[in-house]
Amino acid sequence: MSDTDSFIEEVTEEVRRDRLFRLMRRYGWIAILAILLLVGGATWNEWRKAQARESAQALGDSILAALSAEERAARAAALAGIDAPDPEAAAVVDLLAAAEGAEQEPEAAAQRLLEIADREATLPVYRQIATLKAVTLPGGGLDPETRRARLEGLVAAGGAVRLLAEEQLALIALETGDRAAALETLARIAQDAEATAGLRRRVTQVIVALGKEPPDTPMRAPDAADVLQ
């Protein structure tokens, strides 16, 4: 390689280096800012997760402490005093409080359950559970029409409690003297492929008690709910 070629390469390399330095001085702050944002975002995310864990642990400790009281009234009062951090936690705490107060004050418990069910912020699954518990609570003070309207809403919405709501509708039909409607609903439940073995057994027993032959039912593999029942 000649001295001229070597000199040209050195000049070219110097020009490249100088251009790179100028670009770094002009745009280097963008790279630094991007790194800071990435590090800051990761730090914030970890802090938020830690706060959520601490909040969940504190809520769990409060619930366990409330449930450790010997008397139901004391447990209900302690649960009512828990400050839940979000609507989901509030629904769980209120469901527990209503269950503890149901024996001594069933009407108040039923109203509390309906309040949970009517909250827009409550998750659908908790709204359905609260509604079903309210309408099936002995001594809850809800008239048949109110219970029927609530249960029909559960049936229309579908979900995990649909068939249990239909079972309660059949019992309300019997309560109000509509035997034909009760038998029709019970037969429909017995033939529903989603009915558990325990539910199908219950409705079949009621059909037989009413003097009718139970309908043919679909074969269904047992699941966890069946085993528990």
The residue among 98, 104, 118, 116 whose CA lies nearest residue 71 is: 104
**Dist CA 155 CA 161 (whole Å):** 8
Whether residues 52 and 100 share a domain: the answer is no
Q: Are residues 182 and 120 in the same domain?
A: yes
**Mean pLDDT per 10-residue run, the chain (229 residues)?**
57 67 67 75 79 79 84 83 82 86 86 90 89 91 92 89 93 93 92 90 91 75 44
In a domain, 73, yes or no: no
Contact 171, 157 (CB under 8 A): no
User: What would the two tokens of residue 62 be?
Assistant: 């409060």
Look at residue 165 and tell me if it is in a domain. Answer: yes
pLDDT the model gives residue 184: 93
Judge whether 188 lies within some domain: yes
pLDDT at residue 67, as a whole number: 83
Q: What is the pLDDT of residue 151?
A: 93
- The whole-number pLDDT of residue 213 equals 86
**77 lies in some domain:** no
The reply to whether 162 falls in a domain is yes
What pLDDT was estimated at residue 49? 80
Residue 48 inside a domain? The answer is yes
Both 96 and 47 in one domain: the answer is no
C-alpha to C-alpha distance for 153 and 149, rounded to whole angstroms: 6
The whole-number pLDDT of residue 227 equals: 40
Same domain, 125 and 25: no
Asked if residues 102 and 137 have their Cβ atoms less than 8 Å apart, the reply is: yes
Determine the 3-state secondary structure of 204 from DSSP: helix
Distance CA 113, CA 117 (A): 6
State which residues form the domain around 62: 1-68
Whole-model pTM above 0.75?
no
The reply to whether 130 and 224 lie within a common domain is yes
Of 68, 98, 113, at which residue does a domain stop? 68
